[in-house]
Amino acid sequence: MGVVVVQLGQGGNQMGYALFRCLASASNSFPDQFFRSSDKKGKTKARAVIIDMEPKVIHGIIGRAKSAPAQINRAVWTYDARGVVTGDSGSGNNWARGYYDHGPYNLNSMLKAVRAEVEQCDVFGGFIILQSMAGGTGAGLGAYLVEALKDEFPSSFILCYCIWPYESGEVIVQNYNVLLTLSHLQSFADGIIILQNEQLSIICRMLLSIQRPSFDDLNELAVQGLGCILLPSYWRAIETSSRPVSRAASKGDSESKLSNDNSGQSRVRILSDLLASLCFHPGYKVLTLRFTPQVPAQSLAFTNFTWDAQLKYLRQMFITGAHKELEMDWNIQLPRSAVHNNKQAMLSPTVPYLVNRSVASLLILRGNESEYVDVSGFADDRLYPIWQVDPLSVASSSSMYGQYELAACLISNCQSSVLPASRALTKGYKMLASRAYLHQYFEHGMEHASFDSAFASVEDIVCRYSTL
């Protein structure tokens, strides 16, 4: 099953290059979902479409892929030149220019490149869209293309992996851009993973000992969790305090069965199983990734990896809504009752802190004994709304994940996903009330009603998550 990765804009293209490097180096062979042999020489090429309205970044990543040192069996991977779509000038961080000008003008060439890559798949599994939400091409053109892909491939899954800008300000109009983008993706994508630049930068500095992280450092960190999810894994059973849950059986696959080795387990289908497990409700599509371990490369040889320690930290990050160990408050505990919601928690002296609630979660474990480790703590009913009857999915692989002996990734459809959107709304409404920079959008055909509609859509998203 092949998955086509669409890289959009400067941020999306740089992250896409890092993702393919991660997938190639973290596995014993090139995973065929994301790589293919396209010529008689068996040259390995990424299943990618790379789009930017300025050619500089695209030429840079293609050159880096060609000149990269051998990674697997003295082989390297490259991009297919037929999957490149570029222009002569960028979008100038103007969402409207990307959506209303570059989108329609480049639609045919973009869809032609996408169709050519889709036709290379024996079985097509869907799209992963890599984009920044703050600029013009990744955000505006990206929103337009996602809408076009859903129209062109209505039965295909679309997962968007989105870079959220520094809240201190990368672009003066970034709050407009992120809200417009999130509103459109909510309507047309099947799942939206939000990745915050602020969080990545802090992890690099405080945990990985990189005092001045470069874009390469941020991108390598950004794709660690995504790579952990996308590489082959197998459904495994979940034992909870109240009931045994067999995720493989619940998928409705009559041939699925559980055993102690991967050969007898049902393989996770990317992207269909992932999105069916997490984004089954159309009102809840915003996802958060949490990955462990986060250890400097120079410390790996001196680190003792244990499942108990890693899952303990990951679960507390999940409960508190933290993205890294540094943010965790170990005093925050779950309420006594599953119906004890966050509003009650604010009024109760026995539960002084809010608890992060999730619609559904997927836990991926990689490494020795991953198929046996106890994960019942992630299935606690108090972490989910009372109407959710099957909240947790778990998959595993006995193979190491790159340089990590043990690795765990939790992707959750939870409240912490929309906290940045709530803050962006506050700032965006202030700018909108003063009509700041609106003329830059109106000159490309956008109307004030488009802002009102987008802001209202994001308000609905925040409201739904806040009531979990």
Q: Where are the domains of the chain?
A: 2-230, 234-414, 419-466
**32 vs 264, residue with greater confidence:** 32
* pLDDT > 70? residue 319: yes
SS3 341: coil
Please report the pLDDT score of residue 107 as a whole number.
97
Cis peptide upstream of residue 55 (ω within 30 degrees of 0): no
Q: According to the model, what pLDDT value does residue 256 have?
A: 35
Percent with pLDDT over 90 in the chain: 69
How far is CA 380 from each of CA 241, 318, 414, rounded to the nearest angstrom? Answer: 8, 12, 14
Tokens 């099957």 sit on residue: 390
Q: Examine residue 314 and say whether the peptide bond preceding it is cis (omega within 30 degrees of 0).
A: no
pLDDT value, residue 298? 82
pLDDT for 216-250, tens place per residue? 999 999 999 999 999 999 999 887 334 444 443 33
pLDDT of residue 422: 94
List of E strands, 197-335 = 234-235, 237-239, 244-246, 286-292
Looking at residue 42, what is its pLDDT?
64
Range of weakest confidence among 27-41, 124-138, 406-420:
27-41
pLDDT confidence of residue 41: 65
**pLDDT band of 347, cuts 50, 70, 90:** very low
Does residue 346 register a pLDDT over 50?
Answer: no
Query: Percent of the chain, pLDDT > 70?
Result: 87
Per-residue model confidence (pLDDT) at position 69: 60
Q: Which helix (H) or strand (E) holds 393?
A: strand 392-397
- Pairing assessment for the beta strands 244-246 and 237-239 based on DSSP bridges: antiparallel
From 20-34, 137-151, 241-255, the region with the lowest mean pLDDT: 241-255
Beta strand pairing call for 406-414 and 237-239: unpaired
CA 187 to chain centre: 17
**End-to-end CA separation in angstroms for the chain:** 35
pLDDT of residue 301: 79
Distances (CA, A) of 27 to 20, 267, 346, 397, 406: 11, 16, 46, 11, 14
Report domain 419-466's class: mainly alpha
Is the domain defined by 234-414 classed in CATH 3.60.150.10?
Answer: no
CA separation for the pair 135, 169 (Å, rounded): 12
**What is the mean pLDDT of the segment spanning 277-294?**
94
DSSP labels for 260-296?
Answer: SSGGGSPBPPTTHHHHHHH--STT--EEEEEEE----
365: enclosing H helix or E strand: strand 358-367
Residue with tokens 């497990």: 277
Whether the pLDDT of residue 212 is over 70: the answer is yes
Q: Which of 161-170, 246-255, 257-266 has the lowest mean pLDDT?
A: 246-255
Q: What is the pLDDT of residue 344?
A: 45
Distance CA 221, CA 226 (A): 10
pLDDT class of 313 with cuts at 50, 70, 90: very high
Q: Tell me the whole-structure pTM to 2 decimals.
A: 0.90
Lowest mean pLDDT among 227-241, 256-270, 286-300: 256-270
Q: What is the mean pLDDT of residues 202-220?
A: 91
Task: Please check the confidence at residue 409 and state whether its pLDDT lies above 80.
Answer: yes
Nearest to 6 by CA among 62, 85, 87: 85
Which one of 89-98, 201-210, 433-442 scores highest in mean pLDDT? 433-442
The yes/no answer on whether domain 2-230 falls in CATH 3.40.50.1440 is yes
Task: Report the half-sphere exposure of 69 (CA within 13 A, side-chain side).
Answer: 1
Q: In whole numbers, what is the pLDDT of the chain averaged over residues?
A: 87
Q: 276 Cβ partners below 8 Å, 6+ apart?
A: none
The pLDDT assigned to 165 comes to 94
Instruction: With cut-offs at 50, 70 and 90, classify the pLDDT of residue 327.
Output: low
Q: Which of the given ranges, 93-102, 244-253, 298-307, has the highest pLDDT on average?
A: 93-102
Distance CA 225, CA 211 (A): 21
Q: 160: pLDDT confidence band, cut at 50, 70 and 90? A: very high
Asked if residue 283 lies in contact with residue 276, where contact means CB atoms within 8 angstroms, the answer is no
Could you give the C-alpha distances from 401 to 3, 91, 292, 408, in angstroms and in order? 20, 38, 11, 9
Lowest pLDDT segment from 23-32, 139-148, 256-265: 256-265
Measure the CA–CA gap between 211 and 204, rounded to whole angstroms.
Answer: 7
More confident residue, 379 or 240: 379
Q: Which regions of 11-150 does DSSP assign to beta strands (E)?
A: 35-37, 44-46, 48-52, 77-78, 84-86, 124-132
